[in-house]
Amino acid sequence: MTHHLSALAALLLLASTTAFAPPAHAFQRSAFYLGFGLLSENSIGKITNTIDGKPSVLGTSSYPLFLKYDWEFGRDSYVSPSLAYTLVPRKAQGEAADITTWHLSLPYGSNMGRGGWDWSFGPGILSRSSKGKGGTVQLNNGSGMSTFGLPDRSVETKTLTLTGGVGYSKKAHRVSFDLITEGLASSRRSFNLFLAYGYNLRD
């Protein structure tokens, strides 16, 4: 949890360093952002990472590369294809597998005046690829220790998402916060939080 909070603090620090630049539109025509983010899956009290079993706000975290392109759709309106991809897979519970995640979204958004803020909303696809390491592991079975086999194959799942969020830009810097919802119409829906920093390579 400590290193997750450290990454979150680093992103917030990047946001604060842009506060002294002059205001500008958040979305910009043909802007291309490259950066990184903090993706917290199954957030908002859905899972627990603690011994006492209490759910936490931050879920399972990874740190994907982030790409975004602003395509002007109309007057002060934009469609912004975005991709978040984990270059370094995260470890599954017990390090039984490596999990690679990517999220491709196609949100529509607009600037909120000239204060540097914007909003966006749209569909996407979230993919999780789990690559098993094989072998065995010793686990507690309730009365002692037992040996269990680990999968040695790869499994990929894809789900449709609905993403809504806000962003704040100053000069070439942009910080955004998104809520990614999986299974919106299902009773098993889950929520993911994504905080990202991007630098406009075309500024």
pLDDT digits (tens, 9 = 90+) for 140-156: 667 777 776 666 778 88
> CA 190, CA 184: separation in Å to the nearest integer?
8
For 199, the token pair is: 């630098």
**Closest by Cα among 182, 146, 181 to 165:** 181
pLDDT digits (tens, 9 = 90+) for 126-139: 999 988 766 666 66
**Closest by Cα among 156, 97, 98, 88 to 125:** 156
For 16, the token pair is: 């604060």
Contacts of 13 (CB under 8 A, 6+ apart): none
For 145, the token pair is: 């220790």
Domains of the chain: 2-91+104-126+159-200 (2.40.160)
Single pTM value for the model? 0.75
Phi (first) and psi of residue 141, to 5 degrees: -105, 10
